[in-house]
Amino acid sequence: MARQGGGGAQEGNPIGYNMTPKAPGTGRPQPLPPEVPGPVDKISPMQLNYIGNQSIASASGRTLPVIDPSDGLAFDELQRSDAADIDAAVSAARDCFEHTWHKVSAAERGRLLYRLSQKVAEHVDELALLEQRDCGKPVKQARADALALVRYFEFYAGACDKLHGETIPYQDGYSVFTWREPHGVTGHIVPWNYPMQIFGRSVGGALAAGNCCVVKPAEDACLSLIRVAQLAAEAGFPPGALNIVTGLGQEVGEALARHPGIDHISFTGSPRIGTLIQQVAAERHCPVTLELGGKSPQIVFADADLNAAIPVLINAIVQNSGQTCSAGSRVLIEQSIYEPLLERLGHAFESLRVGPAAMDLDLGPLIRQTQQQRVWDFLSDAHVAGIPMVAQGVVVDEAPQAGFYQAPTLLRDVPVDHRLAQDEVFGPVLAAMSFRDEDEAVALANATHFGLVAGIWTENGARQFRMAKRVKSGQVFINNYGAGGGVELPFGGVKSSGYGREKGFEALYGFTTLKTVAVKHG
């Protein structure tokens, strides 16, 4: 028998949603794949910071445990760094920028990034295994993330020597042109949900533009990034070009954002911490790129190709167990197809299986117990508000009790002002609501303080364009959904989803500053 709903410690679990009996056999577990020899153990027993191409313990000597979300057990240790370690990393980066990196030509930066992409490609299995263990990612997702990292470095390798300035027509007797210059030392604060992907898009762009980087990974997701920095050194990056300092957000993240030697901050994370970063950066007028949260709508009109839409709608909320900033967490359905589409989505949800990362099921565990509790709190509130549940997937019996599991859950008739329709759950919970016409669809889609991604499903070409224009978001997908899309596509939000763009060529403008040079020659 499989367990219904949330797994792990049951305290606080909204059991009201976990009582639907399942047909026998629907929760049949899949066999565990054979044991993979552990590169995880090769770099254990303790992870060190990576500064100036050297593995270095934190100045304080304090450490943090590394927890496997699949079983809730600690299997490694990280450095619990502080301001002194950030100081060392910023010094190494500054030294590299001033004395080495700025002399490296754009073409040579491109070659180094390409060599790094090849190194990552050679280590995809190892990196995927690290994130599988560290973040609870099912094998397929962990591999997809490692392969995306390869693509980020490939893309930015090719972009290095194509970042041009312009000439500007001005008064007679003048020549005016612009240079795109790197900021200098850039700080990167990375969340835990897609460590390799977010590192790739942020650090890849910053290095390509000629900056040196200091990176603070999330405390729950450091292992792969420490390893990538080692690979960068092997690829030939000079000491100080790429530095990793691990630790807690309020200790080491804030020290990075406050450091006067940081010339630009790229922050990806929650809107709450995004506000703190802006306040800290404002004190010294440091430019910031903010990639924050989302409550992205998928809008399904009655003329949509539902066979194409349904698997995409499901994947957009269950990928990475719903811990995706651009998760399609609201499905807005035209009234005439509301009931039949909910029925089909419900069947699909019931077939979803959740289990340990190594089992490579539809979903792995959530990242940590507090995240699991957060999802339970949302579901409890929904239960109290009488929001009906359509269907839930299944947590398999092999899932250890102490792991952080949550069955994917489909809820219907969610009132637009309920927190389930307004706030990020950051878990596999899909909120469905219906609309009568285009105007109501737009009003619902725009009725949150977020604006990251939107999906529009309709075969009507004119409506596709009208909707794409009226929906407030940084990306719009029509008859597909990319959860951020490929590495080439500029990504970022409006409203509380942040500002600035990463990914694609556009990111390079954010990682450079523009200098205008006016020459009077008569």
Could you confirm whether 440 is annotated as catalytic?
no
Could you confirm whether 291 is annotated as catalytic?
yes
- Which of 68, 76, 360, 424 binds ligand NAD (CB under 6 A)? It is 424
Residues 6+ apart with CB under 8 A from 133: 40, 68, 70, 75, 223, 357
Q: What letter represents residue 227's amino acid?
A: R
Reading the block at residue 279, the tokens are 């306040």
Number of chain residues interacting with ligand NAD (CB under 6 A): 29
* Residue 219 binding ligand NAD, by CB under 6 A: yes
Q: Which is nearer to ligand NAD, 112 or 218 (CB)?
A: 218
Reading the block at residue 303, the tokens are 């003329």
Q: Which helix (H) or strand (E) holds 107?
A: helix 106-122
Q: Which is nearer to ligand NAD, 294 or 504 (CB)?
A: 294
**Judged by CB under 6 A, which stretch of 89-97, 187-195, 353-361, 377-385 contacts ligand NAD?**
187-195
Cis status of the peptide bond prior to 311, with omega within 30 of 0: no
Do residues 248 and 80 make contact, with C-beta atoms less than 8 angstroms apart? yes
Give the separation between CA 199 and CA 190, rounded to whole angstroms. Answer: 7
Closest separation in Å from C-beta 193 to ligand NAD: 5
* Residue 451 binding ligand NAD, by CB under 6 A: no
* Residue 190 binding ligand NAD, by CB under 6 A: yes
- Which of 192, 237, 338, 378 binds ligand NAD (CB under 6 A)? It is 192
Q: Which is nearer to ligand NAD, 2 or 273 (CB)?
A: 273
Do residues 497 and 294 make contact, with C-beta atoms less than 8 angstroms apart? yes
Q: What letter represents residue 45's amino acid?
A: P
* Residue 136 binding ligand NAD, by CB under 6 A: no
Q: What letter represents residue 395's amino acid?
A: V
* CA 410 vs CA 39, 275, 373, 459: distances in Å: 38, 31, 18, 25
Q: DSSP states of 333-353 as a string?
A: EEGGGHHHHHHHHHHHHHT-E
* Residue 189 binding ligand NAD, by CB under 6 A: yes
- Catalytic: which of 291, 334, 350, 424? 291
Give, to the nearest 10 degrees, the angle between helix 195-208 and helix 124-135.
Answer: 130
- Which of 184, 249, 364, 408 binds ligand NAD (CB under 6 A)? It is 249
Q: Which is nearer to ligand NAD, 47 or 392 (CB)?
A: 47
Closest separation in Å from C-beta 185 to ligand NAD: 17
End-to-end CA distance of the chain: 86
Q: Which is nearer to ligand NAD, 355 or 500 (CB)?
A: 500
Do residues 407 and 5 make contact, with C-beta atoms less than 8 angstroms apart? yes
Closest separation in Å from C-beta 93 to ligand NAD: 18
- Which of 210, 238, 293, 297 binds ligand NAD (CB under 6 A)? It is 293
Four-residue CA torsion sign, 228, 139, 344, 14: negative
- Catalytic: which of 160, 212, 286, 325? 325
Reading the block at residue 290, the tokens are 């903010």
Closest separation in Å from C-beta 204 to ligand NAD: 14
Do residues 176 and 170 make contact, with C-beta atoms less than 8 angstroms apart? yes
Closest separation in Å from C-beta 274 to ligand NAD: 7
Closest separation in Å from C-beta 90 to ligand NAD: 15
* CB contact burial 88-118 (16+ within 10 A = b; e otherwise): bbbbbbbbbbeeebeebeeeebbbbbbbbbb
Q: Which is nearer to ligand NAD, 27 or 498 (CB)?
A: 498
Do residues 183 and 513 make contact, with C-beta atoms less than 8 angstroms apart? yes
* Residue 489 binding ligand NAD, by CB under 6 A: no
Closest separation in Å from C-beta 258 to ligand NAD: 9
Q: Which is nearer to ligand NAD, 273 or 407 (CB)?
A: 273
Closest separation in Å from C-beta 503 to ligand NAD: 9
- Look up tokens 């579901």; give the residue: 379
**Judged by CB under 6 A, which stretch of 62-70, 216-224, 329-337, 430-438 contacts ligand NAD?**
216-224
* Residue 85 binding ligand NAD, by CB under 6 A: no
User: Interaction with ligand NAD in 456-475: which residues (CB under 6 A)?
Assistant: none
Phi, psi of 375 (to 5 degrees): -65, -45
Four-residue CA torsion sign, 354, 355, 357, 359: negative
**Site map for ligand NAD, 262-291, x if CB under 6 A?**
------xxx--x--xx-------------x
SS3 assignment, position 181: strand
Positions marked catalytic: 291, 325
Which residues form the interface with ligand NAD (CB under 6 A)? 189-193, 198, 216, 218-219, 249-250, 253-254, 257, 268-270, 273, 276-277, 291-294, 325, 424, 426, 452, 498
